[in-house]
């Protein structure tokens, strides 16, 4: 679940020399992918999962609208490679449809959380003093509520639709970026170029947006990658608990939640495919994040 | 040290207050308020009105919050409409059972993760390191509920070795009297932590391995076994203290899921059913209690860190 203590992969240390210092953040990120096998594997899996979910339905036509009671819980066959579920939907087609919403919610929530967290942390770190203390106590307070407890609270209050879901997951996920960016902002605000910008009469809002945030971008991108993985896991947990979006909306967690009713009847095709899809996607984003972080640490050492 | 402790305690109190305010705002944001949530859409406008007036939900939010804090100061966490019991009595029944589950899971996780991390560090970049690291990456990326389901499928349904449901009972003693039924819930919760702990242990041990005192000990011809146990293990264990404190929120999240997978009668299950039945006093009361526990956990971890490692200077 959402821990800040993500594991590190030994192979994540960039192979074949270090990343060139002095290059732009984006060139550094590109260099990571050229040199790091795990990152490449991660990106490969993400591309595959995205293609499967969004392009798959173009080639593999299934009816995911009408329930068919004559075709419920069929084992895998030629017509249905992964069988059918408890209302007669083709599981392979369902997996694609669920993938779309899992990815959209995961990416949007991570993006929203990163933008809000970055601005919150940058302002707190840049302004400092009492404003910083109050803003960070807010972060500490939300952080003291375990992620799942917080998301259950929110889901019990709001009627969950896709946009609400993105918001709810983002409310849980914006804290880590806020803390990280605040740390960066505190060190960045004393740098000469920020001092100069301020001396030249640069407005505070301008300095935060043009000088503080861009220079923390590597930290932000690394954290955002982990946030996507976390968001997909949170969404799955919430849907498993039955507090996800209502049908016809679906995601991998909802599929598993349904399949669970048949756990004693040996209907493995309702339990394995969706779970494997979640693990693959989450592992892929964790690989990418880990490789980026390893590269970031190399750059920090060379500073 | 004393100044640091006082400052941290003040911060902790501020955070707990912050939590209560945040939860209060979230719960009262429900359209129609707690009444509609609890009585359902079929309740008549009169019933809703009566409920609102009876429970003081028509008063301004700050007044309601003040009353809540006043009651809290007297040890009154509220009254559950759903269970017709005080929140305090519900929590005193279920909290110890969750504490047992979480405690056992931590114990198992540490017993597995510490030797694993040390092994990975000593033989780093070997095949064993890659395989175990890959496995912990997968475990770390696995939804807790799916892991639980897989364990049930394997151990309870296919091989019929263990019961698929957690022990039932009102007291800790009743729960512990079925150790077999505890195996799968504890294993589920522990496995996810093993992944995170062993990675942390690995990097901590790698950092210790390059220290001068290890090199000196080796140069003096101290047997490798003694180096491992006396120098490496003891020194790389220090950061684990912090990790336990920091991982408490994630572990509690895992416990909520584990309890609902195995129908374990703990606080997570209580919270989950309160969330689905809109039992506001239970949600409010238990969140404040859980948040207090996580704040205390990280406070304790910080203080213990300074106690076990005299090099740490608290400022």
Are the Cβ atoms of A157 and B249 closer than 8 angstroms? no
Residue of A nearest to B146 (CA): A275
pLDDT at A17: 41
Say if residues B57 and B33 touch (Cβ distance below 8 Å): yes
CA-to-CA distance for B109 and B128, rounded, in angstroms? Answer: 19
Domains of chain B are 2-87 (no CATH), 88-308 (1.10.3720.10)
Query: How far apart are the C-alpha atoms of A250 and A256, rounded to whole Å?
Result: 10
- Which 221-240 residues of chain A touch chain B by CB within 8 A? 229, 233, 236-237, 240
Distance CA B174, CA A161 (A): 41
Query: Is A277:B141 a contact under the CB 8 Å cutoff?
Result: no
pLDDT of residue A2: 39
Mean pLDDT value across chain B: 85
Give which of B34, B122, B138, B143 to mutate to test A binding, by max A Cβ within 10 Å. B143
Residue B249 near chain A (CB below 8 Å): yes
Burial label for A263, CB within 10 Å (0-12, 13-18, 19+), is middle
**What's the average model confidence in pLDDT over B180-185?**
91
Q: What is the pLDDT of residues B103-120, one digit of tens each?
A: 999 999 999 999 999 888
Residue A5 CB neighbour total at 10 angstroms: 17
CB atoms within 10 A of CB B244: 19
Q: Which residue of B has its CA nearest to A133?
A: B11
**Which ipTM was obtained for this model?**
0.88
B25 touches chain A (CB under 8 A): no
CB-CB under 8 Å, B146 with A256: yes
Report the pLDDT value the prediction gives residue A19, as an integer from 0 to 100.
44
CB proximity A242 to B under 8 Å: yes
* A37, A290 contact by CB (below 8 A): no
Answer yes or no: do A144 and B15 touch at CB < 8 A.
yes
Residue B60, helix vs strand vs coil? coil
A20 or A75: which carries more pLDDT confidence? A75
Chain B contact set for A240 (CB, 8 A)? 143, 145, 257
**Residue A247's pLDDT is what?**
77
Are the C-beta atoms of residues A243 and A156 closer than 8 Å to each other?
A: yes
User: So what's the pLDDT on residue A141?
Assistant: 92
Does the pLDDT of residue B129 top 90, yes or no?
A: no
Dump pLDDT digits (tens) for B258-271: 999 999 999 999 99
Q: Using CB atoms, which residue from B252, B257, B283 is nearest to A156?
A: B283
Of B37, B193, B11, nearest in space to B114 by CA: B193
Q: Residues 115 to 134 of A: which have CB under 8 A from any B CB?
A: none
Q: Lowest-confidence range among A73-87, A269-283, B274-288, B289-303?
A: A73-87
* H or E element that contains A284: helix A272-302
B72 neighbors B230 (Cβ within 8 angstroms):
no
State how far the Cα of A266 lies from the Cα of B158, in Å rounded to an integer.
9
pTM above 0.95, yes or no: no
Region A2-31 average pLDDT: 51
How many CA atoms are closer than 13 Å to the CA of A159, on its beta-carbon side? 6
Whether B146 sits inside 8 A of A237 (CB atoms) is no
Closest CA to B194 of B154, B242, B237, B139: B139
> Taking Cα atoms as reference points, which of A148, A246, A139, A158 lies closest to residue B27?
A158
Interface-testing mutation among A149, A161, A230, A241, with chain B (most B C-beta atoms within 10 A): A149
What is the chain A residue with the closest CA to B29?
A157
A281 to chain B, closest Cα gap in Å: 9
B2-27 vs A147-157: helix crossing angle, rounded to 10: 20
Q: For residue B74, give the DSSP letter.
A: T
């Amino acid at each position: 679940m959402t821990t800040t203590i993500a594991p590190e992969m030994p192979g994540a240390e960039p192979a074949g020399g270090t990343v060139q210092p002095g290059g732009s953040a984006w060139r550094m990120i590109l260099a990571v992918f050229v040199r790091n096998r795990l990152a490449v594997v991660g990106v490969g899996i993400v591309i595959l999962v995205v293609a499967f979910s969004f392009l798959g339905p173009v080639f593999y036509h299934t009816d995911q609208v009408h329930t068919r009671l004559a075709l419920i819980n069929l084992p895998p066959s030629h017509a249905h490679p992964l069988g059918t579920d408890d209302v007669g939907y083709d599981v392979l087609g369902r997996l694609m449809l669920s993938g779309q919403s899992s990815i959209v919610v995961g990416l949007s929530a991570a993006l929203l959380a990163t933008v809000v967290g970055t601005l919150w942390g940058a302002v707190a770190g840049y302004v400092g003093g009492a404003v910083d203390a109050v803003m960070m106590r807010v972060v500490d307070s939300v952080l003291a509520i375990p992620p799942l407890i917080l998301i259950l609270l929110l889901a019990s209050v709001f009627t969950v639709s896709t946009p609400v879901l993105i918001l709810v997951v983002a409310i849980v996920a914006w804290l880590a970026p806020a803390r990280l960016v605040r740390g960066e902002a505190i060190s960045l605000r004393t740098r000469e170029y920020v001092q100069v910008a301020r001396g030249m009469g640069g407005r505070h809002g301008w300095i935060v947006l043009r000088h503080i945030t861009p220079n923390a971008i590597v930290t932000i991108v690394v954290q955002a990658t982990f946030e996507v993985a976390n968001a997909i896991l949170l969404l799955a947990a919430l849907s498993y608990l039955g507090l996800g979006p209502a049908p016809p909306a679906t995601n991998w967690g909802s599929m598993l939640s349904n399949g669970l009713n048949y756990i004693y009847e040996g209907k493995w095709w309702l339990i394995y495919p969706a779970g494997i899809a979640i693990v693959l996607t989450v592992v892929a984003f964790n690989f990418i994040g880990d490789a980026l972080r390893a590269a970031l640490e190399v750059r920090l050492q060379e500073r | 040290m004393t100044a640091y402790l006082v400052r941290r305690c003040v911060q902790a109190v501020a955070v707990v207050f912050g939590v209560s305010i945040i939860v209060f705002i979230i719960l009262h944001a429900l359209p129609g308020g707690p009444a509609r949530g609890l009585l359902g859409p079929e309740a008549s406008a009169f019933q809703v009105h009566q409920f609102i007036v009876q429970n003081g939900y028509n008063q301004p939010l700050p007044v309601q919050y003040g009353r809540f804090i006043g009651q809290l100061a007297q040890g009154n966490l509220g009254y559950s409409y759903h269970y017709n019991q005080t929140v305090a009595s519900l929590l005193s029944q279920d909290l110890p059972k969750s504490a047992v589950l979480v405690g056992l899971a931590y114990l198992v996780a540490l017993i597995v993760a510490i030797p694993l991390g040390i092994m990975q560090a000593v033989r780093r970049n070997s095949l064993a390191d890659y395989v175990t690291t890959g496995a912990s990456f997968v475990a770390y990326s696995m939804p807790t509920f799916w892991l639980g389901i897989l364990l049930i499928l394997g151990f309870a349904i296919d091989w019929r070795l263990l019961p698929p449901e957690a022990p039932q009972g009102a007291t800790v003693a009743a729960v512990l009297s079925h150790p077999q039924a505890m195996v799968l819930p504890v294993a589920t919760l522990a496995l996810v932590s093993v992944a995170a702990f062993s990675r942390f242990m690995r990097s901590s041990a790698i950092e210790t391995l390059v220290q001068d005192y290890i090199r000196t000990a080796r140069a003096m011809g101290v047997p490798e076994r003694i180096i491992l146990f006396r120098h490496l293990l003891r020194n790389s264990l220090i950061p684990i203290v912090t990790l336990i404190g920091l991982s408490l929120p994630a572990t509690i999240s895992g416990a909520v899921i584990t309890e609902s997978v195995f129908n374990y009668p703990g606080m997570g299950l209580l919270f989950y059913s309160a969330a689905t039945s809109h039992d506001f006093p239970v949600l409010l009361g238990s969140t404040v209690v859980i948040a207090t526990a996580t704040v205390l956990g990280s406070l304790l971890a910080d203080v213990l860190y300074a106690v076990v490692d005299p090099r740490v200077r608290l400022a």
